[in-house]
Amino acid sequence: MKTIEIGLLGKHGLAMLVGVAMLVILVGTGGNIWFGRTAGQIARDQFNAEQLVVARNVRYWVERQMAALGKELELLAKKAENGASDPRTLQPLLQPAFERVVGLGVDRIELVDPRRREKYTYYPFRLNPERSPLSPDDEAPEVAGLSSAAGSSRIRIIETLPAGSDIQLTLSMELTNLSPARLAFQVNLSWFLAPFLKHIRSGKDGYAWLLDDQGRFLFHPYTAFTGRSAFDARHQRDPGISLQRIDTIQKEGMLKGLEGTGAYLSAWHLGITGPMEKLIAYTPITISESPLRKWSVAVVAPMHEIGPALARIHRLQLFLQAMVLLVVFSAAAVVYFFRLRWHQRLEECEAIRSQALKL
């Protein structure tokens, strides 16, 4: 009778052992899956944090260059006010300034005289200015004070987006002692932005693009986008893909002057085509403070940029899963071995007892 009870007890113990082993395996598998997802999100967040540092560096560069243009315009305005009174003789004063500001995208300098309704345009390395009548845009410039980093509230900004990729930014300053009432730098934004932004890289293939406060591309490696609405350009190029996430990021984040990170779906990246997820980090660039005007720069990269990190995570997951299984099966084998030895010992004791009773 005792032998039967021991056998039944052994069966229950074996079932319990199997149940505990399965529970440990399930818990270990669930923990492994959670670890993989958490580690993957950490890798994404870390990569986006690095992209945000790159975006901030772009912001500092653009704001610093704009401040440099503002200071050059102030210095040149003072020289013009204290220099020659005839606009046709100002070229010798302007030429040294050209040598400094051409590298910042300035392709011409203008003197505007509303009273005479004429404009003088100066070009690098030309002896005489080009004289022309005022256009409606020259007579009614948009008022926007330059960022205080430029050091003067007298400086005004006008942004124009003609057809093509030659977007112009006008920095102008009122003069007091010279008949032409306004001195202006005409900045070709492609010349201003491209030499720096085209070399920005995030990972191997990531790049930067720039929006103005109206949602228009001021710079993009795909030059056909430059000057166009970021919303319309993407929808027209990729009508078969959902762009809701990037539209939301642009509308609710970038155009509101916020800083942040995220991810969105895209149909291409440089020479790669097909739906893919991209990581994005963006930050505002202050162009003027009175009234407030901000651009926004984004640094983006495809998800495969973090592929090596995710591959390491997957390898670690497999290793941890293998360790869990090894520990569980080893523990089960040890328990089963000792249970078998214990059961055999009991049977031997029962046999000895039975033999003693027969005697």
Q: What is the pLDDT of residue 282?
A: 97
Q: What is the pLDDT of residue 145?
A: 46
Domain 40-60+202-305 has CATH 3.30.450.20: yes
Q: What is the pLDDT of residue 157?
A: 78
Q: What is the pLDDT of residue 32?
A: 61
pLDDT of residue 333 exceeding 90, the answer is no
Q: Per residue, what are the HEC states of the chain? A: CHHHHHHHHHHHHHHHHHHHHHHHHHHHHHHHHHHHHHHHHHHHHHHHHHHHHHHHHHHHHHHHHHHHHHHHHHHHHHHHHHCCCCHHHCHHHHHHHHHHHHHHCEEEEEEEECCCCEEEEECCCCCCCEEEECCHHHHCCCCCEECHHHCCCCEEEEEECCCCCCCEEEEEEECCCCCCCEEEEEEEHHHHHHHHHCCCCECCCEEEEEECCCCEEEECCCHHHCCCEHHHHHHHHCCCCCCHHHHHHHHHHHCCCCCEEEEEEEEEECCEEEEEEEEEEEEEEEEEEECEEEEEEEEEEEHHHHHHHHHHHHHHHHHHHHHHHHHHHHHHHHHHHHHHHHHHHHHHHHHHHHHHHHC
**Using 50, 70 and 90 to split pLDDT, how confident is the model at 43?**
confident
pLDDT of residue 253 exceeding 90, the answer is yes
Q: What is the pLDDT of residue 148?
A: 39
**Using 50, 70 and 90 to split pLDDT, how confident is the model at 349?**
confident
pLDDT of residue 99 exceeding 80, the answer is yes
- Percent of the chain's residues with pLDDT above 70: 73
Q: What is the pLDDT of residue 301?
A: 93
38-47, 330-339, 344-353: the lowest-pLDDT one? 330-339
Q: What is the pLDDT of residue 352?
A: 76
User: For the segment 143-167, what is each residue's pLDDT rounded down to a tens digit?
Assistant: 444 443 444 456 777 777 654 557 8
Fold of the domain spanning 63-192: Beta-Lactamase (3.30.450)
pLDDT of residue 18 exceeding 70, the answer is no
